[in-house]
Amino acid sequence: MNSLLKYLLILLGLISVIINIVLICLNSNRLPKCMSQQPQESLQVTHSDTSLVFADLTAEEYKSVRDYMWAQKDLKISHSLKAQPSENFLFLIDLLLPRKADVLRYLDSSGQKPPREASVVVFYGERGYLKEYVVGPLSGRLQHRDVTQEKYNTSELPFTARTVTIGEYVQLFKLLYHVFQKLEKPLSESFGYIPRQRQLLPFEGMPRGIKSGDRKTWISFFRDFSGMYIHPVGFEMLINHESSNTSNWTVDRLLYNGQYFDTIEEFMARYKASSLKKIVYKEIPNHASLKPRKKPSGLGPQQYYLQGKRYSVKNNQVIYLDWSFAFGLSSLTGMRVFDVRFKGERIAYELSVQEAMSVYGSVTPGMILTKFLDSSIGIGRFAHELVRGIDCPYAATYADTYRYIDTNITQRFRNSICVFEHDIGRPLRRHFSDFFHNGYGGMANSALVFRTITAIGNYDYIWDFIFYQSGSVEARVHATGYISSSYKDDGNLQYGHQVAENVLGNIHTHFINFKVDLDILGVKNIFQTKDMVYKEVPLPWMPSEKAKIPQLVEQQIKTEKEAAMLHGAKTPRYLHIASNQTNRWGHHRSYRLQVVSFAGDSLPESESTERSMSWARYKVAITKHKDEEQTSSSLYSQNYMWSPYVDFSKYIEDNEMIVNEDLVAWVTAGFLHIPHAEDIPNTVTVGNGGGVILRPHNYFNEDPSIHSPDGVYFGQGSESDCEYNKMACLEKDQCSSTLEPFTYHGFEGVMKFD
C-alpha cells in the first residue's frame, strides 16, 4: 500500500507539472511584451506659476468673498439657497479677468502681478434692482466697489433682467401645484396626471414676454419620463411673475390641445361642458429612454499611452510637446484658454466660448418666440462630471472645477474638464513615392484635446480646443442631447417634422460665438483677406491664344466696419490676423481664421430682440481690443432682450482703425437643425457642430511638424528598420496598460428644488 501510494503521489505530481507547463505555453502570448522596451524617462517639463493669473477662483476664495458680502450689513443679503424674489440674493461670484496690458507686463516684462479680484452680482429683491461689484484684493483685506455705472452706464439694472434663480423656481412650482389642484380632473383624464406620483414636468420658453420689463413665461408640460423633452402633452400655461411679491403672481392664459383660454375658470367650464376638443390619455412607451435596447456585448477600441503621457497638467497650465496654455472655466461663458504658445511664441492671448444661442420655429406659444441665450443661464455652470471612457478616453487626465452661481455654498464639480492626447485616425501628412525614389514618409495626426461638456436643459454641448503638431488650433463644438418638441397641432408641420406620435420636432438654429484674441508676434497686427478670381491672360508662348486662370487677390482691411463679415454676404475665403514681420520668403507671418459652419439664417435685424444677439449677424468680425469689450453677450441678455446692456454691434459702430492694433476676432459658427426621426431618442454628434481653425499661414518657413518625434520614414529594403519608423518595433514594445477604477460623482451637483 505504501508503494502504491508513493507511485500515485509521483503520478499526480507529474500531471500537475504537465498541466502548468501547458497553461504557461497557452498564456505566454498574452503577457506584456516589454523585454525590448527601454524604460522611458519621466516627462521633463517646467511649469510656470504665471498661469495662475488666469486661474479660476479657488474654493477658499469663493468662500471668503461670499462671507465678506454677507457681512456687509447694509446690503442685507439672504443666506438662503432658496431666497425668494423679494429678498436680496448673492447670485454670482466669478473671477474678474485683469486688464490685458497689466497681464502682458507681468508675463513678458517682469512687471508686477495684477491684483486678484472677483466679480460679484447681487439681485436686490427688497429694492427692485440688480448691481455688480468688484471685490478684492483676494490676497489681502477685502473691499468692494460698485461697478454697475462704469460697466453699463446706469447706476442700477432692472430687476426683471435677472436670471430665474432656484428660489424663484421653487415659488413657481408651488404656484403650479396649486393650479394643478384646481385642474386635477382634466389633467388626469387628458394626461394621466396623478399628484405627487405621475407628474407633468414643466419646460419654459424664453424670452419672458414681448417688451422690456415683461416677466411672463409660457410653460409647456411634458410627460413624467426620462427624456421628457420629446413627450409634450399639448398643455401650456402663461405665468406672470413680474412682481417680487409672489402672492401677486397670476396665470394669464392657458393652451389646451390648440385652444386658448383666458382663465382657469373658463377652461374648467368649457371642459365640463365638453365644448372643446379633448385629449384622451393613452399610455405609451418611453421612446426617449437612453437605456440600450440590447445589453452591451463588449468594448470598442480603447486608447492607451504605451510609453506614458506626453503632456503635463499642473494647476491651470497644460504643456504638450511644443504647446503651452493656461485654462479656466467661466460659470457664465464656459471654457477658455489664455497665453497660448507654440515653440515659446504666443499665438493667442485668449481663446474662449462666448455664447450659445438657438432660435426656434413653432405655432405653439411655448416655442413660437423662444430664443435661448445660454450664457444668461450659465454655460460653464452646467459642466458636470465627465464619464470616463465615453465623454473622454478612459486614460485621459481629469480636473475638478469650483463654481459659485445661484447657490449659497461653493460647489465642486469633479472631473468636469478632461485633457488627452488623441490619434485623429488619419495622417497629418504622408506621401508614398511610386516613381524614381521609392519610399514612404508620413506622420500620425496626434493632437492634444482640452474638453468640457455642458448639459443645459435639453441640449448637451461638447466643447473642444484641439492643439495640433502643425501649429494649428481648433475651437470646436458638437451638439447632442434632446431636441425640443411641441405637441403636434394643425398647421405646425411647416415648423419641423413629426418624430413620434403627436410629437413635432421644432426647426431651430444653433449659433456659437467664439472670442479669438490672436497676438501674432506681439499686439501690433493687421487684418488681411485673400481669395481668387479667374483672369484672362494671353499664353506667353502663343499670345494669340488666351486662357482664364486663377489669380491671387489680396487686401488689407483698415476699419472695423469693413472687417465685419455678415452672414450671407460674400466673404473672402482666407482671413488672416498678420504681423508686420515676414518669413524667409518675404510674406507676412500670419494665422488664418478658417470657419467651419453650417448655420441657418441669423435673426432679421428688424426683430425687436435681435440686438441682444447682434454678434450672430457676423460670420467673423474684427475689432480693436478694449478691456471694456470683454464679452459679446451678457448675463442679462436673455431676460432683457429688447434693451440689451451688451449690444455687440456697438463694438463696430465706432468704426475704429484696425491697422497695427491689438486685434480681436469674434467668430460665429453653428448649424441649422431640422429635426428628423433619427433624433429619437436623442441627437447624435455626427454632422451637428462647427467651429474655427487657427492655421499658421506663412508664419513659419516650413511645416513645423517636420521636427516632430512622431515622423516616420523608410525606403525600400528598410521597412523593418526602427530608427525612423517606431511602428516597426511597436509589437515588441507594447505593454498592458494599468487603468484607474471607474468612478462617477456627477449627480452631486444637480439642481434641487425641494
Helices and strands, number each (H, E), in the chain: 10, 34
CA distance 696 to 428: 15
Residue pair 112/94 in contact by the 8 Å Cβ criterion: no
E runs forming strands in 599-743: 618-624, 663-673, 689-697, 711-715
The β-bridge relationship of strands 311-314 and 259-261 is unpaired
Which pTM was predicted?
0.92
Assign a CATH topology to domain 49-158. Nuclear Transport Factor 2; Chain: A, (3.10.450)
Residue pair 90/80 in contact by the 8 Å Cβ criterion: no
Residue among 459, 495, 618, 699 flagged as catalytic: 459
CATH class of 166-273: alpha beta
440 is catalytic: no
pLDDT along the chain (754 residues), means of 10: 61 61 51 43 84 98 98 98 97 98 97 97 98 96 98 97 97 96 96 94 95 96 95 97 96 96 97 95 93 86 87 97 98 98 98 97 93 96 96 96 97 97 93 86 95 96 98 98 92 91 95 98 98 96 95 97 94 96 97 95 95 97 97 97 96 97 98 96 95 98 94 85 81 62 67 71
DSSP string computed for 112-160: PPPPPEEEEEEEETTTTEEEEEEEE-TTSS-EEEE-HHHHHSSSSEEGG
What is the chain's alpha carbon radius of gyration, rounded to the nearest angstrom? Answer: 30
Question: In which element (H, E) is residue 470 found?
Answer: none
Of 81, 78, 89, nearest to 129 by C-alpha is: 89
| CATH 3.10.450.40 intervals, the chain | 49-158, 166-273
CA distance 694 to 701: 17
Of 583, 426, 616, nearest to 511 by C-alpha is: 616
Cα separations in angstroms, 136 against 12, 146, 150, 333, 407: 80, 12, 17, 22, 21
Cα separations in angstroms, 290 against 97, 393, 481, 484, 683: 40, 21, 10, 16, 11
Q: Which positions ≥6 away from 475 have C-beta within 8 Å? A: 351, 353, 464, 465, 514, 516, 667, 691, 692, 694
Residue among 56, 94, 339, 374 flagged as catalytic: 374
E runs forming strands in 468-568: 473-481, 485-487, 496-500, 503-506, 508-518, 526-539, 542-557, 564-566
102 is catalytic: no
Gap between the terminal Cα atoms of the chain: 80
